Structure 1
Amino acid sequence: MAQQTPYEQSGKKETTTYDRAISYYKSLVKLYPKSKLLTYGSTDFGKPLHLLILSRDQVFEPSAIRKANKRILLINNGIHPGEPEGVDASMMLARDLLSANKLPKDVVICIIPMYNIDGSFNRSGTSRANQNGPVAYGFRGNSKNLDLNRDFIKTDSKNAAAFQLIFNTWQPEIFVDTHTSNGADYQYVMTLIPTQKDKLNGILSAYLTKTLVPELYKGMEQKGYPMIPYVNSIGQTPETGITGFIESPRYSTGYTTLHNTIGFMPETHMLKSYDLRVDATYKLLQTYIDVVQRDAKIIGENKRKADEFVAVQKEFPLEWALNKNESDSIPFKGFQAGKKPSEISGVDRLYYDRNKPFTNNIKEYNKFEPAVSVRKPIAYIIPKAWDRVIALLKLNNVKIEQLKTDTKITVESYYIGDFKTGTRPYEGHYLHSAVKLNPVAQTLQYYAGDFVVYVNQFTNRYIVETLEPQATDSFFNWNFFDSILDMKEHYSAYVFEDTAAELLKNNPKLKAQLDEKKATDTVFAKSGAAQLEFVYKNSDYYEKTHNRYPVSRLLTNVKLDLK
């Protein structure tokens, strides 16, 4: 076959390397003018991200494609290079669509050949100890040892910044991020994680659940690869029931949800042979193309309506909780599980008997409900010092304005009342959670060049879920603002004792507050240091910026002097 991939040349046992993949795509675009290979940004490995465009009309400009009312399907491969099925399947799919002249009329296909370029060079056959092939593959972490599928908000890697540039330039309606599973053993080659239906905008969710997902299942059944939802077991085995996956914005499909893009994470089963996993991925990608072409107009209309809805949406969920009281019954093709003595320890261990397949109904819990919500402000005001936040907002197509002159503005400020912080680092951060806020109305001084972000945009979900500190993957929780949690001034107790005594003499209200605290808190009543600190923190000497979240909320639609 002309233009055979390295995977095919190996007898379907090896996955391609990065260099061979890019060389292959460069050869492909020389042969077929309906394809184009672009580069974006850089990665931590020093190489740019490539993007292959397949366009039947040879139009390769995103705005022109949208103007022509065509859909954009973005396929991302190799975010975890040890899960490379999509890398090899996409190479064959691109070739076959081009060579057979079968590109869809109303869909432009964009393919990232290999996202975690860094990890793909860290090649071995042992890092995924539970996986059945290929012969060698890349490593999950990138050059900074980051899991890139946790980096879509904090953007610690250049890879994530380049991806966001691609995503926000092309603005796909459908996104597919190819993976391989870990976990239980069962009969399916392919499992599927759609964007969590309850988190997705309702217009998009209705199409996803009633049309798109059923069509994918139907198509794959016909192609010989029946699917099941990703097997996220409640107990040790799937028979105990499975739950839906709630992807917060740190994950690729959680990130795309913020932009009203329907996302999917197909996960092939790690224990199936590599050739079957690649073939199933190939056929699933083909099924996406067929359905998106068929429903191109309705998909585009749904995205337009969803963007319009989000621009005027007032209430935004920030955290989600699984409803454990509601479930569906779904058929499941598994293998009987049992216990036998471990050859290592002699203790009973779990095993699956592939000679004992079964089909039974199991429970699926997949209803998520808002646990924390917030009402949006008119706008957020961000002092210009927080340039990293501004850069990420701009990268994500958020419209930002700036104050023309120094001005005082009445806003709602958050004071961080309490939060929890992980005791061990997670992806290079000590992640915050369970944030408690004390909102206070204040008139603050702002300066020319400070930024104003109005919450009337189709990017509202990205704006709110990054800037509201109580959101699961907020910039605050990812430590962007930790410097505000430190006091910069304090006092010498022997000096402030006299100052505090004078304050209490002149402020009966403060003295009453102190007396009430002593009467209700016996530990406090016995601590002179605690009482002195109480007076300090309730006086004008205490710095007003300590624990004050720097992104304020404008709640009244006052006219601001903007550039």
Structure 2
Amino acid sequence: MIRSIALFLCLLTVSASAQKIRYELSQGKETATYAEIIAFYQQLDRQYEEATLIEVGPTDAGKPLHLFLLDPDRQFTPTADKVTLLINNGIHPGEPEGIDATMLWVRDMLNRKTLPSNVLLAIVPVYNIGGCLNRGVSRVNQNGPLEYGFRGNARNYDLNRDFIKTDTEDARTWQTMFQTYKPHVLIDNHTSNGADYQHIMTYFATLKDKLHPAVSGYMAQTLQPELDKALTAKGFEPVPYVNNFSDTPESGFPAFNDSPRYSSGYAALFNCIGFVVELHMWKDYPSRVRGTLAFMEEALRIVSRDATLLIRNKQNADEAVSKQTEFPLTYKLDRTKSKLITFNGYEAKYKPSDVSSLKRLYYDRSAPFTKQIPYQNSYVPDVTVRKPKAYVIPQGWTAIIDRLKRNGAQLRPLSADSLMTVQAYYIEDAKTTQRPFEGHYVHSNVVVRKESLPIQFYKGDYVVSTDQPANRYVVETLEPQGIDSFFAWNFFDSILGQKEHFSAYIFEDTAAELLKNDPALRKKLEERRATDTAFANDANAQLEFVYRHSTYYEKTHNRYPVYRLER
């Protein structure tokens, strides 16, 4: 009996010790390692029936992505009467306060039995596993912890640029998880960079002008104001994410334009409210952890209180998007609209550099100030498109088809070969980056021309209807002018390369015969020569002109292979 009691006390001591995390044991100087993070959640899984830790899929690091689910009813699946709150940690593991704050948070909620009954809480303990394993001190502008992970994943991708293109196993698995649990609210925990100021807490929400009004109205008029008030009461007066890298943020700044490549921009495509929480990098680490914890606590409180409203808002938005006809593809800042916000900063000053002896910037913490500064938070559509009845995609474009399916889009394969009259885009012009960005030479400012054509499609090609809740994802990725469209991310670059051409010494005779038999073409050529001196003096250019206006010129050159079915 004595031996049994001793063993029980030993196990109890081990269990209690395992509840303490590295952050606490180091008095706030250190952050958990990957192994410690997973072991911690595995222990909570074993200890509490209201919690479960699951593997949702592979990552580039060769280790599975984990999801920790909290549900007092022990169902751990989305239900009609529960709001789903998704917490994403460690997308940039060098910004680890979310990792540690969430561990403290869930442990205490489970110990105290304070989980709300109407919320399914889904937590990614650490998203970027490869970056978490790559521990070091790479963030030179950050005040602690002593060691932390790296921004890039196992293949050096920034996962917060990969939510549309999904080059990584990490992003593909994350999308599958997101579409399975369909969260109403997303919190993505980060650390800021940029200027110095007094605020510990900054954050940005999904741009209100991008969300459907059924969702954005509640977010902008209720959720954010109440969050800000509660955070201020807890000593973390927030300010919008300081999207200003000039010397003086007090001159004002705009809201961050979170396109769908980012977590909150991706979430907005599915009528999910997104928050990117950015604690100030130069505040001490315990303050950053406490601030992140406060944000999650208050968000959960309000989300639980308004669960019925959040669920209804998302349902209404999903239904409305199914019927929506006009879709913005790009947005621009409305500089005519601005509001004043309270900004607690430090005076920006200059002094000689000890490195270069030239003038350098510094922020004088002995000279704090409070000012009302302009904040621009209104964006308006720049390029807008009217949706077709459906898109038709040849089955060979498997990378596109796989992404659509993974994101919940409904696709119907053709049951037989079909000749259809469709609208086809031709890419007339685009600007392309000179250096790769996240592995891609990104296209922007895309100019298209539309033609109505009969196209032969085949059994197994796909029709994507535009009467579904995933409409925004479908339209914004398939329309080539979208800022984060699949065309922008180079998935269709093979169409930009000409596959056939002519040998001039042979085509000379063919071109002459074409002009002889086609007076209209001859007239076009002569008109071009009359108005373009360089063209008139360039024999090869004139042959190219005739070739491009002939039946020999390949029909698929620059023709975008996603077609619009208008009726």
Question: TM-score range, shorter-chain basis?
Answer: over 0.9
State whether structure 2 residue 82 is matched by structure 1 residue 70.
yes
Which residue does 1:311 correspond to in 2?
Answer: 322
CA contact (8 A) 2:77 2:120 kept: no
Q: Secondary structure of the residue that 1:22 maps to in structure 2?
A: helix
Aligned counterparts of 2:192 and 2:333: Cα–Cα separation in 1: 22
AA aligned to 1:15 is T
Aligned counterparts of 1:483 and 1:334: Cα–Cα separation in 2: 50
Q: Choose the corresponding residue for 1:492, options 488, 493, 503.
A: 503
Aligned counterparts of 2:414 and 2:210: Cα–Cα separation in 1: 34
Which residue does 1:287 correspond to in 2?
Answer: 298
AA aligned to 1:58 is R
1:55-76 Cα shifts (integer Å, max 9, x gaps): 01111123xxx23x10000000
Aligned counterparts of 1:223 and 1:54: Cα–Cα separation in 2: 25
State whether structure 2 residue 198 is matched by structure 1 residue 182.
no
Q: Choose the corresponding residue for 2:51, options 24, 28, 35.
A: 35
Query: How do 1:471-482 residues align onto structure 2 when only pairs under 5 Å count?
Result: 471-482=482-493
State whether structure 2 residue 67 is matched by structure 1 residue 56.
no
1:521-541 Cα shifts (integer Å, max 9, x gaps): 111111110000000000000
Aligned counterparts of 1:490 and 1:346: Cα–Cα separation in 2: 59
Q: Secondary structure of the residue that 2:555 maps to in structure 1?
A: coil
Which residue does 1:96 correspond to in 2?
Answer: 108
Which residue does 1:371 correspond to in 2?
Answer: 382
Which residue does 2:12 correspond to in 1?
Answer: none
Gaps of 5+ in 1: 557-563
State whether structure 2 residue 236 is matched by structure 1 residue 225.
yes
Aligned counterparts of 2:305 and 2:385: Cα–Cα separation in 1: 38
Q: Choose the corresponding residue for 1:109, options 121, 136, 149.
A: 121
State whether structure 2 residue 155 is matched by structure 1 residue 138.
no
Aligned counterparts of 1:392 and 1:48: Cα–Cα separation in 2: 20
1:225-281 Cα shifts (integer Å, max 9, x gaps): 111101112742111111100011111111111111000001000000000000110
Which residue does 2:405 correspond to in 1?
Answer: 394
1:43-93 Cα shifts (integer Å, max 9, x gaps): 00001100000001111123xxx23x1000000000001000000011111
Query: How do 1:142-181 residues align onto structure 2 when only pairs under 5 Å count?
Result: 142-181=153-192
1:452-481 Cα shifts (integer Å, max 9, x gaps): 000111100000010000100000110101
Q: Choose the corresponding residue for 1:237, options 225, 245, 248.
A: 248
Shift of 1:6: 1.7
Aligned counterparts of 1:252 and 1:279: Cα–Cα separation in 2: 23
Q: Secondary structure of the residue that 1:297 maps to in structure 2?
A: helix
Paired-residue identity, %: 53
Shift of 1:342: 0.9
Q: Which deviates the most, 342-351 or 81-90?
A: 342-351
Q: Choose the corresponding residue for 2:334, options 301, 304, 323.
A: 323
CA contact (8 A) 1:234 1:241 kept: no
Query: How do 1:402-417 residues align onto structure 2 when only pairs under 5 Å count?
Result: 402-417=413-428
Q: Choose the corresponding residue for 2:63, options 42, 47, 54.
A: 47
Aligned counterparts of 1:530 and 1:309: Cα–Cα separation in 2: 51
1:375-415 Cα shifts (integer Å, max 9, x gaps): 00000000000011000001001011010000100000001
Q: Secondary structure of the residue that 1:178 maps to in structure 2?
A: strand
Query: How do 1:152-551 residues align onto structure 2 when only pairs under 5 Å count?
Result: 152-233=163-244, 235-551=246-562
AA aligned to 2:128 is N
CA contact (8 A) 2:195 2:245 kept: no
Aligned counterparts of 1:347 and 1:537: Cα–Cα separation in 2: 58
CA contact (8 A) 2:194 2:245 kept: no
Q: Secondary structure of the residue that 2:435 maps to in structure 1?
A: coil
TM-score, with structure 1 as normaliser: 0.97
Aligned counterparts of 1:517 and 1:467: Cα–Cα separation in 2: 35
Shift of 1:306: 0.5
AA aligned to 2:217 is A
Aligned counterparts of 2:252 and 2:418: Cα–Cα separation in 1: 58
Which residue does 1:122 correspond to in 2?
Answer: 134
CA contact (8 A) 1:328 1:363 kept: yes
Any runs of at least 4 consecutive aligned residues in structure 1 with deviations exceeding 2 A, and if so which?
Answer: none
Aligned counterparts of 2:203 and 2:431: Cα–Cα separation in 1: 33
Aligned counterparts of 2:531 and 2:216: Cα–Cα separation in 1: 51
1:412-449 Cα shifts (integer Å, max 9, x gaps): 00011111111101100111111110100001000000
Q: Secondary structure of the residue that 1:102 maps to in structure 2?
A: coil
Which residue does 1:559 correspond to in 2?
Answer: none
Aligned counterparts of 2:144 and 2:128: Cα–Cα separation in 1: 19
Which residue does 1:81 correspond to in 2?
Answer: 93
Aligned counterparts of 1:223 and 1:295: Cα–Cα separation in 2: 21
Aligned counterparts of 2:64 and 2:207: Cα–Cα separation in 1: 31
Q: Choose the corresponding residue for 1:11, options 2, 27, 38.
A: 27
Q: Secondary structure of the residue that 2:410 maps to in structure 1?
A: coil
Which residue does 2:11 correspond to in 1?
Answer: none
AA aligned to 1:121 is L
CA contact (8 A) 2:199 2:236 kept: yes
Shift of 1:10: 1.5
CA RMSD of aligned residues (A): 0.9
Aligned counterparts of 1:530 and 1:134: Cα–Cα separation in 2: 63
Aligned counterparts of 1:520 and 1:253: Cα–Cα separation in 2: 51
Aligned counterparts of 2:77 and 2:118: Cα–Cα separation in 1: 15
Aligned counterparts of 2:516 and 2:61: Cα–Cα separation in 1: 64
Aligned counterparts of 2:281 and 2:431: Cα–Cα separation in 1: 36
Q: Which deviates the most, 346-355 or 295-304?
A: 346-355
Q: Secondary structure of the residue that 1:12 maps to in structure 2?
A: coil
Q: Secondary structure of the residue that 1:203 maps to in structure 2?
A: helix
Aligned counterparts of 1:61 and 1:106: Cα–Cα separation in 2: 12
AA aligned to 2:168 is S
Aligned counterparts of 2:374 and 2:235: Cα–Cα separation in 1: 24
Q: Secondary structure of the residue that 2:453 maps to in structure 1?
A: strand
Aligned counterparts of 1:506 and 1:439: Cα–Cα separation in 2: 28
Number of residue-to-residue matches in the alignment: 551
Aligned counterparts of 2:219 and 2:257: Cα–Cα separation in 1: 16
Aligned counterparts of 1:365 and 1:100: Cα–Cα separation in 2: 42
Aligned counterparts of 2:25 and 2:40: Cα–Cα separation in 1: 13
Aligned counterparts of 1:83 and 1:429: Cα–Cα separation in 2: 25
Q: Secondary structure of the residue that 1:231 maps to in structure 2?
A: coil
